[in-house]
């Protein structure tokens, strides 16, 4: 008789029953003088003891700013040492860190800060083409005349202040360097007492996922959720205090802050940031010069590193393992990573923000075929099942929707009980929206998505959000957005646009309009102007036909 598509991960690896602050303190006590964090682009290096001093100073400053348990604190910055320091400091004082995508523009920033009710925002001065100071000033003009912590914003009534990572920010911003002075007004004992008042089931992080209904939803995660997920991912990699992890993936994603930072903190592994954003040469150089043993990335990043002319001059022999996640890995890429980057034990991980993120993972001994055709087996202390549209578990080998249950499932979407109820059923199963098949050995293969989500270079993009954005353009009557295969990013975005009668617009004009208003990775690479969309007889848009037509016209884009 065929088994049902249900598996339970191994149970012999106990879950951690600590807060993030407690786990961090335990590692500091064990490894004090060993190197903890290297931010190469900032020329900063901290031992665990030195990092703990920075974290405590920041935590005391947060308390001095009036931040209470449960208050939300936003971080809007690329990868940097302060990101890690703030992540641990907010956890120690019971604040909820709100990850703001560094690519967000003013409208997206306003939505996230208002929806989460952020009381403070910590921001960089600029990154790539984004001027964070200018956008914050445009959104909160009251900044210019407000004393630190005394903003009264019409747009963001909960916001009290903005901290800048710059040394000399404009008026109204509190410089990061000034936090140390603020923190001196709060005793070490008071900070310790605050940390001791916390428990591991409390929320500690909100991460916004692109919304199927046009607005992002804030996945709310607890200490228990993300600390254990980082620990379990690291355990599968065999992380130890002798490992040095190179982290070129963004910290605002679970990939960076959970699988990276928390995976390292729970195992005492050194965290290495090659740069503020991904750069293939900087990542390779970090591995070679820091003797990195673990390397993270999405397939796009590994392709860029493999193809970079500097790779052959770099000594990557220290590498042994890492994780490739965010999109399907082509078999030739996996072979090259193993052969040319010395990553014999590289693993594949699958998950979603709502599950902290990893729920399935290949193992270090899985053969090449399993690592390129599946996303592995159910992680320890979790359950997986694959169901049909009626909710019944399908037989092994049959296709259905993948669901996850266990410690990693989020607390819910912030202030959105309806969306939470539609994602997590009454039995506690998180519905992924991904179509999958489970084999007899419990390995899962992702075969499609019953949601229209596009995964571009590791970024989850929901077409509905972009479509509703297009409706705000005066010339656009309707828009439908799809993903098509792309050799560089896994998928790329195509928008089919119908204009209002009498209106004109070019693809270049619409793309330029998008670039100034939404994150760069959401901007459609291709725009096709149409008078009608392929429709069913009942009037539903046939996106599969749109994909077929777009692929026939464009082919597999580079």
Rounded average pLDDT over 507-513: 96
Residue 211, pLDDT above cutoff 60: no
Burial (CB count within 10 angstroms: exposed 0-12, middle 13-18, buried 19+), residue 366: middle
Q: Is CATH 3.40.50.12780 what the domain over 222-449 is classified as, yes or no?
A: yes
Omega prior to 121 cis, within 30 of 0? no
Q: What is the reported pLDDT for 467?
A: 84
pLDDT category at 450 given cuts 50, 70, 90 is low
Contact 123, 76 (CB under 8 A): yes
Q: pLDDT digit string (tens) for 390-427?
A: 999 999 999 899 999 999 999 999 999 999 999 999 99
Distance from C-alpha of 208 to C-alpha of 525, rounded to nearest angstrom: 23
Q: pLDDT digit string (tens) for 266-321?
A: 999 999 999 999 999 999 999 999 999 999 998 889 988 999 999 999 999 999 99
Distance from C-alpha of 12 to C-alpha of 323, rounded to nearest angstrom: 23
Helix (H) or strand (E) holding 52: helix 48-64
Q: How many residues does the chain have?
A: 558
Distance from C-alpha of 461 to C-alpha of 433, rounded to nearest angstrom: 14
Q: Are strands 430-438 and 444-449 parallel, antiparallel or unpaired?
A: antiparallel
Question: What's the maximum distance between 2 C-alpha atoms anywhere in the chain?
Answer: 73
Give the other-Cβ count within 10 Å of 542's Cβ.
14
Strands annotated E in 112-202: 118-123, 126-127, 130-131, 161-164, 174-175
Which residue in the block uniquely carries the two structure tokens 């796009």? 300
DSSP 8-state class, residue 261: I
Listed in sequence order, the residues at least 6 apart from 448 whose beta carbon sits closer than 8 Å to its beta carbon are 434, 435
Contact 203, 159 (CB under 8 A): no
Residue 468, pLDDT above cutoff 80: no
Contact 175, 168 (CB under 8 A): yes
Tokens of 448: 């499609």
Which of 529, 521, 435 is closest to 480 using CA atoms?
Answer: 529
Tokens of 154: 């019409």
DSSP 3-state of 498: strand
Q: pLDDT digit string (tens) for 224-283?
A: 999 999 999 999 999 999 999 999 999 999 999 999 999 999 999 999 999 999 999 999
pLDDT category at 557 given cuts 50, 70, 90 is low
Q: Right CATH number for 454-554 from 3.10.20.30, 3.40.109.10, 3.30.300.30, 3.40.50.10330?
A: 3.30.300.30
Residue 540, pLDDT above cutoff 80: no
Distance from C-alpha of 476 to C-alpha of 478, rounded to nearest angstrom: 6
Q: What is the reported pLDDT for 302?
A: 92
Long-range contacts of 414-422 (CB under 8 A, 24+ apart): 414/115, 414/116, 414/206, 414/217, 414/218, 414/219, 414/220, 415/115, 415/116, 415/117, 415/218, 416/217, 416/218, 419/213, 419/217
- Residues paired with residue 174 on neighbouring β-strands, in sequence order: 163
Distance from C-alpha of 496 to C-alpha of 237, rounded to nearest angstrom: 43
Which residue in the block uniquely carries the two structure tokens 């590498």? 319
Listed in sequence order, the residues at least 6 apart from 322 whose beta carbon sits closer than 8 Å to its beta carbon are 237, 294, 295, 296, 297, 343, 346, 347
Distance from C-alpha of 62 to C-alpha of 75, rounded to nearest angstrom: 13
Rounded average pLDDT over 426-436: 94
Distance from C-alpha of 273 to C-alpha of 85, rounded to nearest angstrom: 13
Query: With left for phi above 0 and alpha for psi between -120 and 50, is residue 477 left, alpha or beta?
Result: alpha
Q: What is the reported pLDDT for 389?
A: 87
pLDDT category at 215 given cuts 50, 70, 90 is confident
Which of 386, 411, 408, 409 is closest to 399 using CA atoms?
Answer: 386
SS (H, E, C) 81-92: HHHHHHHHHHHH
Residue 345, pLDDT above cutoff 60: yes
Domain ranges of the chain: 20-199, 222-449, 454-554
Tokens of 523: 């901007």
DSSP 3-state of 433: strand
Q: Is CATH 3.40.50.980 what the domain over 20-199 is classified as, yes or no?
A: yes
Q: pLDDT digit string (tens) for 145-189?
A: 999 899 999 999 999 999 999 999 999 999 999 999 999 999 999
Tokens of 325: 């996640």
| Topology match between the domains 222-449 and 454-554 | no
Which residue in the block uniquely carries the two structure tokens 């549209």? 389
Distance from C-alpha of 382 to C-alpha of 515, rounded to nearest angstrom: 40
pTM of the entire predicted model:
0.87
Which of 391, 379, 68, 357 is closest to 209 using CA atoms?
Answer: 357
Rounded average pLDDT over 534-538: 63
Listed in sequence order, the residues at least 6 apart from 268 whose beta carbon sits closer than 8 Å to its beta carbon are 27, 30, 31, 34, 48, 240, 241
Q: What is the reported pLDDT for 358?
A: 98
Rounded average pLDDT over 106-128: 96
Sign of CA dihedral 7, 11, 17, 18: negative
More confident residue, 19 or 471: 19
Residue 517, pLDDT above cutoff 80: yes
């Amino acid at each position: 008789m065929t088994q049902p598509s249900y598996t339970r991960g191994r149970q012999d690896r106990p879950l951690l029953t600590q807060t993030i602050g407690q786990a961090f303190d335990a590692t500091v006590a064990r490894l004090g003088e060993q190197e903890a964090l290297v931010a190469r682009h900032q020329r900063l290096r901290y031992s665990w003891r030195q990092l703990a001093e920075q974290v405590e100073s920041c935590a005391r400053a947060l308390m001095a700013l009036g931040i209470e348990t449960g208050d939300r604190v936003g971080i809007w910055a690329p990868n940097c040492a302060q990101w890690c320091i703030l992540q641990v400091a907010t956890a120690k004082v019971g604040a909820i860190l709100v990850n703001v995508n560094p690519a967000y523009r003013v409208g997206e920033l306003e939505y996230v800060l208002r929806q989460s009710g952020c009381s403070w925002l910590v921001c960089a001065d600029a990154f790539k083409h984004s001027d964070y100071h200018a956008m914050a000033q445009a959104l909160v003009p009251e900044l210019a005349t407000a004393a630190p912590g005394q903003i009264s914003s019409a747009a963001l009534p909960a916001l009290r202040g903005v901290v800048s990572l710059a040394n000399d920010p404009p008026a109204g911003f509190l410089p990061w360097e000034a936090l140390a002075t603020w923190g001196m007004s709060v005793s070490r004992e008071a900070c310790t007492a605050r940390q001791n008042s916390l428990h591991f089931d409390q929320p500690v992080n909100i991460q916004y996922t692109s919304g199927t209904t046009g607005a992002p939803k804030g996945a709310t995660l607890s200490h228990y959720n993300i600390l254990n997920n980082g620990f379990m991912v690291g355990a599968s990699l065999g992380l130890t205090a002798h490992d040095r992890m190179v982290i070129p993936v963004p910290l605002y994603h679970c990939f960076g802050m959970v699988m990276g930072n928390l995976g390292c903190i729970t195992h005492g592994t050194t965290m290495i940031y090659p740069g503020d954003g991904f750069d293939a040469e900087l990542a390779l150089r970090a591995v070679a010069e820091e003797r990195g043993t673990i390397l993270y990335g999405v397939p796009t990043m590994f392709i860029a590193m493999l193809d970079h002319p500097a790779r052959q001059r770099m000594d990557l022999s220290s590498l042994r393992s890492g994780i490739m996640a965010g999109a399907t890995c082509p078999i030739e890429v996996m072979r090259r990573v193993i052969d040319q980057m010395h990553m014999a034990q590289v693993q594949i991980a699958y998950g979603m923000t709502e599950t902290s993120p990893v729920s399935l993972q290949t193992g270090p001994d899985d053969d090449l075929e399993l690592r390129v055709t599946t996303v592995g087996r159910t992680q320890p202390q979790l359950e997986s099942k694959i169901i049909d549209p009626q909710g019944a578990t399908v037989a092994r080998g049959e296709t259905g929707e993948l669901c996850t249950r266990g410690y990693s499932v989020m607390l819910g979407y912030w202030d959105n009980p309806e969306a939470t109820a539609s994602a997590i059923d009454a039995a506690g199963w998180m519905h992924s929206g991904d179509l999958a098949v489970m084999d007899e050995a419990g390995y899962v293969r992702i075969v499609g998505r019953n949601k229209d989500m596009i995964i571009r270079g590791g970024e989850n993009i929901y077409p509905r959000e972009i479509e509703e954005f297009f409706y705000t353009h005066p010339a656009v009557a309707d828009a439908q957005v799809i993903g098509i295969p792309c050799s560089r990013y896994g998928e790329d975005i195509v928008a089919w646009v119908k204009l209002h009668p009498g209106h004109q617009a070019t693809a270049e004009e619409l793309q330029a309009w998008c670039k100034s208003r939404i994150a760069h990775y959401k901007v459609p690479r291709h725009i096709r102007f149409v008078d009608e969309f392929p429709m069913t007889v009942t009037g539903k848009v046939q996106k599969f036909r749109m994909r077929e037509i777009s692929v026939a016209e464009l082919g597999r884009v580079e």
